């Protein structure tokens, strides 16, 4: 996808990236990443975001964390699996707590 084909379909990537970066690298790293990407620092799971925000976050995260963009996106996908697993375990242990 090119930047000229932007859409508002990323309802999960931004907040998952936020949770991943804050958990693994700290709030300061997330704020720096968002500053470089020129975007907000808080995202919610059920709101669509412009694809350009994801591209900007990946670019900023790649530079800040010295990682390949594709590796960052793979980690966000892995983080989604971890998130779903945690929610499933909570549910199976007596109900959703969040």
For residue 76, what are the CA distances in angstroms to 12, 15, 54? 10, 10, 11
The pLDDT tens digits for 31-85 are: 999 999 999 888 877 777 888 888 899 999 999 989 999 999 899 889 989 888 8
Expressed in angstroms, the distance from the first to the final Cα of the chain is 35
What pLDDT is attached to residue 1?
38
How far apart are alpha carbons 23 and 17 in whole angstroms?
10
| 36 within a domain of the structure (yes/no) | yes
Residue 5 clears pLDDT 50, i.e. is over it: no
DSSP secondary structure code for residue 4 in this structure: G
Q: Is the pLDDT of residue 2 over 50?
A: no
The CATH number of the domain where 51 resides is what? 3.90.1520.10
**Parent domain of 72:** 7-92
Task: Please give the residue that has the higher pLDDT: either 44 or 12.
Answer: 44
For residue 81, tell me if it sits in a domain. Answer: yes
Please tell me the total number of residues recorded for the chain in this structure.
98
């Amino acid at each position: 996808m090119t930047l000229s084909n932007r859409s508002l379909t990323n309802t999960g990537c931004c907040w998952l990236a936020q949770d991943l970066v804050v958990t693994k690298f700290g709030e300061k790293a997330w704020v720096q990443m968002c500053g470089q990407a020129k975007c907000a620092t808080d995202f919610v799971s059920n709101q669509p975001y412009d694809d350009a925000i994801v591209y900007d976050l990946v670019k900023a995260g790649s530079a800040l964390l010295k990682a390949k963009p594709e590796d960052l996106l793979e980690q966000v996908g892995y983080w989604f699996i971890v998130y779903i697993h945690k929610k499933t375990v909570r549910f199976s242990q007596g109900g959703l707590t969040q």
